[in-house]
Amino acid sequence: MKHDTGKKVLVCCGTGCLANGSLDILTGLRQRVQDTACGAVRVEALIKATGCNGFCEKGPIVKILPDDVSYYRVQSTDLDEIFASSIQKNEVVERLLHLDAATGQRIRSQHDNPFYKKQTKLALRNIGEIDPTDVEDYRERGGYQALGKALQEMSSEQILEEVCVSGLRGRGGAGFPTAQKWRQCASYAASPKYVVCNGDEGDPGAFMDRSIMEGDPHTIIEGMLICARAINAAAGFIYIRDEYGLAVKNFAHALQSARKQGFLGKNILNSGFDFDIEIVRGGGAFVCGESTALMASIEGNVGEPRAKYVRSVEKGLWGQPTVLNNVETWASIPPIIQHGGQWFHSIGTATSPGTKVFSLVGKVRNTGLVEVPMGITLRELIFDIGGGVIGNREFKAVQSGGPSGGCIPASLLDLKVDFDTLTAAGSMMGSGGMIVMDQRTCMVDVARYYVNFLAEESCGKCVPCREGLRNLLNILTAICQGKGCADDLDLMAEICAAMAEGALCGLGKSAPNPVASTLKYFRDEYLAHIVDHYCPAGICKELTDFVINPDLCTGCRRCVKHCPADAISGNPKEVHSIDPAHCIKCGNCIDNCRFQAVQTMKGGSSQ
Amino acid sequence: MNIIIDDKTCPAMAGEMLLTVARRNNIHIPTLCHSDALPGQATCRLCIVEVVEKGRAKVVTSCVYPVTQPMEVHTHSPKILALRRTIIKLLAARAPHSEDIQQLMEEYQITIPRRLHGSSTESCVLCGLCVKACEKLGLTAIATVGRGTGKKISTPYDEPADDCVGCGTCAQNCPTGAIPIEEQPTRRTIWGKSFELLSCSVCGHAFTTREQWEHIRRQVPGISDTPVCESCRKQQLCAQLRRGHQ
């Protein structure tokens, strides 16, 4: 007997869920379906692997259609129950549903989950819904229809005009108007022209491009094809950082299937138009995400940027007119052609239309990938979608725009996020990383961390960036060790100014942002380090002692258990104490105390 | 077309670099990494100037900024002076013993801030001229290695390079004298590799390494079999021309 359940089960196989064992979930479910083949009742259900659903904090995620039930943190031990209740029958496993922290209610559908409710999925529209290795899945959701329209119904000028009306700005960070870039490139007669996709996502904490390349590679191919048609380009390249193994694999697979289906290669869809795309694997240098360095790298040269006084649209890859856009930008093109520029322009703000994908990471409760209309406030992003700060600690700052972005303080939480507001606040959109920080984050240490990253990852070509970062790092390290002096802040500001104006490329010009923004918003914290030799967040070890406030300590022994150095003593229900001679200042006690009884003091003062 | 540099009207051709136009008109803009023979480095950033085009001001690097339209250029505006001073401080912190940098410090009346003092004892400022010179000669004995603050110029694996012919062009082009070259009567040592010097077959002056001479012979077919130094070659050429004239 056959029992066709009509069920489609989508198992999230994004990198986060894979790391949490979603492959076992996928094979486990498939096995259970298969095992019924020899039994009395053969169960039929479609089990599919999809890209990242975004809610990485609660992975692995399993969605069951058409019931529209989403299960979170699914383990192998849950599979029998899921199979019996939700696949063979139409029942719901309550305990695997999302628990809304605000209402205490279990939520059945993904659409009702507060994490997804405020999102508008455009670049991520297919991710989590389709199997990225199945081009038919993409086509079922309207994939390659925009290409058909662009090839058969639209002239080059009409494509350019549609993109122009949409107001789309480059999602790689700088926000340059996409249509303007394409138009300029189209205006040059030189041939061949190239189309390049920048998939060298290097910002720590950013994974939106990865998610698109892994979860919906065909949308990138389609976007590049449409541009190639508009500017009459001969070939395309996608530069994927080599660490993104799954992205390389899925994209290579997508290229093959696109060729098979006649979307790439000669005479595409009988239009007489030829175009193909090649994958170039990046070596992991952060600077190769800079467009001119990326092109140098594709050419086989050292990945160093050049001065952009002659733009890449005129002389880019191998000196030929080149359009380079970021993954997310390419992913936005097919819906713009399909639904019209006006439709896209109606989303977001007037100067930054559309949506933006952000990766919410750091001390935020719901770590993950979200796509929201431009103009959403930081508060909505971090508190409504992100669920606020872990452990209900006080929000201190959010670092946006990657390592060369800036730190935005709590006073600006109601800032409406778009390209221009972030820049005005001393940060930038960058690729869309949002690293949330709480009171246990030392802003001097944060600046030092990012400057250290940049000092290693700058290409090292020009003096202001390389030497500026070297000296900023020296100064910040000294301040964190309590060796700061009064002139340091002015000197750092001077170096920052020289870098911002004098560096060769966009990376060097924005590299002082972590220092400049923390100097602007958290100057008091710098002064505490320099003048008082005190780190208010209790992070800089030389400047911190941990002490237990006897009035607040309940003697619960939680800190004692978490102390890796056995530096805390005290009997149950008696006030505990920390032995400064043994304390390694790891901060486990303060992070684990439920009564705010562990407090920081100036280093050396408790001895 | 004419452009105005520091209130002086200067004729310029479209596509010419701003630095070239300024120098032709005797307007001094400091540089370390610029060489007329090996242009386009744009790494030292000393030659930054302020440009006003169509009413919009911006800071650009004059050695690689092409003149495309009428513009007003300020090479020593207060903003440029402040930025250039900081860049000199950063250069001085890296290569405090370089004569050129010391001269710049004098010219711009700069003392190294205490915090930056002694942060490095390098003399290389990574301008890249040596690497470019080597490349231009058809050799790739040296290259930049690594990135970020750890970047350096070196031979492959820091070992004596097979490709190095000991010509010393890298050292000649170095603005800060950072490439040690040791000359003895019959030997030259550079980049950890020692070379035998060949003498001029005319005057007997030891002037080239065996490897360099072989490299030249490969590059210039028909050159004489025996080494002839530059001044003797000039004399020979003059004599030939004279004979032809007669």
pLDDT exceeds 90 at position A409: yes
Residue range A518-543: mean pLDDT, rounded: 94
pLDDT exceeds 80 at position A34: yes
Handedness of CA A363, A364, A367, A368 (dihedral sign): negative
pLDDT band for A605, please (50, 70, 90 cuts). low
CA distance B76 to B79: 8
* CB pair distance less than 8 Å for B125 and A463: yes
List residues of chain B with CB under 8 Å from any CB of chain A.
42-45, 48, 59-61, 64-66, 79, 82-83, 86-87, 90-91, 93-94, 113-116, 119-120, 125-126, 128, 143-144, 146-151
**In the sheet where A355-362 sits, what is the strand order?**
A368-373, A355-362, A433-438, A395-400, A406-409
Residue A323, φ and ψ in degrees, nearest 5: -105, 120
Per-residue pLDDT at A37: 78
Q: Which pair of tokens denotes residue B59?
A: 């800071």
pLDDT band for A392, please (50, 70, 90 cuts). confident
Q: Which residues of A fall within a CB distance of 8 Å from B91?
A: 463, 467
pLDDT exceeds 80 at position A520: yes
Q: Which residues of B fall within a CB distance of 8 Å from A494?
A: 86
CA distance A144 to A105: 40
Per-residue pLDDT at A426: 81
pLDDT band for A103, please (50, 70, 90 cuts). confident
Q: pLDDT tens, A165-192?
A: 999 999 988 899 999 999 999 999 999 9
Residue range A518-544: mean pLDDT, rounded: 94
pLDDT exceeds 70 at position A452: yes
* CB pair distance less than 8 Å for A501 and B59: yes
pLDDT exceeds 90 at position A480: yes
Inter-CA distances, A569 with A206, A486, A547, A550, A563, Å:
41, 39, 12, 13, 10
Per-residue pLDDT at A589: 93
The chain-wide mean pLDDT, for chain A, equals 93
User: In this complex, is the C-beta atom of A416 within 8 Å of any C-beta atom belonging to chain B?
Assistant: no
Residue the block writes with tokens 């002389």:
A315
> What SS3 string covers A31-92?
HHHHHHHHCCCEEEEEEEEECCCCCHHHCCCEEEECCCEEECCCCHHHHHHHHHHHHCCCCC
For residue A476, count CB atoms less than 10 angstroms from its CB and return exposed for 0-12, middle for 13-18, buried for 19 or more.
Answer: buried
Of B42, B90, B151, the CB nearest to A307: B42
Q: Which residues of B fall within a CB distance of 8 Å from A498?
A: 83, 86-87, 90
pLDDT band for A7, please (50, 70, 90 cuts). confident
Q: pLDDT tens, A322-334?
A: 999 999 999 999 9
pLDDT exceeds 60 at position A607: no
On whether the CB atoms of residues A458 and A465 are closer than 8 A, the answer is yes
Residue range A416-441: mean pLDDT, rounded: 89
pLDDT exceeds 80 at position A2: no
User: In this complex, is the C-beta atom of A311 within 8 Å of any C-beta atom belonging to chain B?
Assistant: no
Residue range A409-421: mean pLDDT, rounded: 93
Of A306, A460, A464, the CB nearest to B45: A464
pLDDT band for B208, please (50, 70, 90 cuts). very high
ipTM score here?
0.93
pLDDT exceeds 70 at position A406: yes
Residue range A252-257: mean pLDDT, rounded: 97
Q: pLDDT tens, B128-163?
A: 999 999 999 999 999 999 999 999 999 999 999 999
Q: Which of A377, A400, A401, A379 is nearest to A388 (CA)?
A: A379
pLDDT exceeds 80 at position A491: yes
> What is the CB neighbour count within 10 angstroms for residue B111?
9
pLDDT band for A215, please (50, 70, 90 cuts). very high
Residue range A200-219: mean pLDDT, rounded: 92
Per-residue pLDDT at A159: 97
* CB pair distance less than 8 Å for A502 and B60: no
CA dihedral A447, A450, A455, A461 (to 10 degrees): -100
> What is the CB neighbour count within 10 angstroms for residue A533?
19
The chain-wide mean pLDDT, for chain B, equals 93
Instruction: Tell me the angle at which helices A178-187 and A156-166 cross, rounded to the nearest 10 degrees.
Output: 150
Residue range A394-414: mean pLDDT, rounded: 91
A489 vs chain B: nearest CA distance in angstroms? 11
Locate the chain A residue with the closest alpha carbon to B87.
Answer: A464
pTM: 0.91
Per-residue pLDDT at A263: 96
Q: Which of A492, A482, A491 is nearest to A530 (CA)?
A: A482
B234 vs chain A: nearest CA distance in angstroms? 38
Mutation site, A310, A452, A456, A462, interface B, largest B CB count within 10 A: A462
Mutation site, B115, B144, B176, interface A, largest A CB count within 10 A: B115
Residue range A74-81: mean pLDDT, rounded: 94
pLDDT exceeds 90 at position A377: yes
User: In this complex, is the C-beta atom of A475 within 8 Å of any C-beta atom belonging to chain B?
Assistant: yes
User: In this complex, is the C-beta atom of A296 within 8 Å of any C-beta atom belonging to chain B?
Assistant: no
Q: Which pair of tokens denotes residue A403?
A: 């390592």
Per-residue pLDDT at A59: 85
Of B48, B64, B151, the CB nearest to A460: B151
Per-residue pLDDT at A209: 94
Q: How many CB pairs under 8 A join A and B?
A: 117
* CB pair distance less than 8 Å for B113 and A464: no
* Rounded percentage of chain A residues whose pLDDT exceeds 70: 99
* CB pair distance less than 8 Å for A503 and B45: yes
CA distance A342 to B47: 46
Amino acid residing at B56: R
Q: pLDDT tens, A550-596?
A: 999 999 999 999 999 999 998 999 999 999 899 999 999 998 998 98
Residue the block writes with tokens 């380009």:
A233
Q: What angle do CA A81, A82, A84 make, to 5 degrees?
A: 65
* CB pair distance less than 8 Å for B151 and A466: yes
On whether the CB atoms of residues A512 and A472 are closer than 8 A, the answer is yes
pLDDT exceeds 70 at position B18: yes
Of A457, A475, A478, the CB nearest to B148: A457
Q: Which pair of tokens denotes residue B3?
A: 């452009």
* CB pair distance less than 8 Å for B43 and A467: no
Handedness of CA A235, A236, A241, A247 (dihedral sign): negative
* Rounded percentage of chain B residues whose pLDDT exceeds 70: 100
Per-residue pLDDT at B65: 95
Residue range B184-192: mean pLDDT, rounded: 94
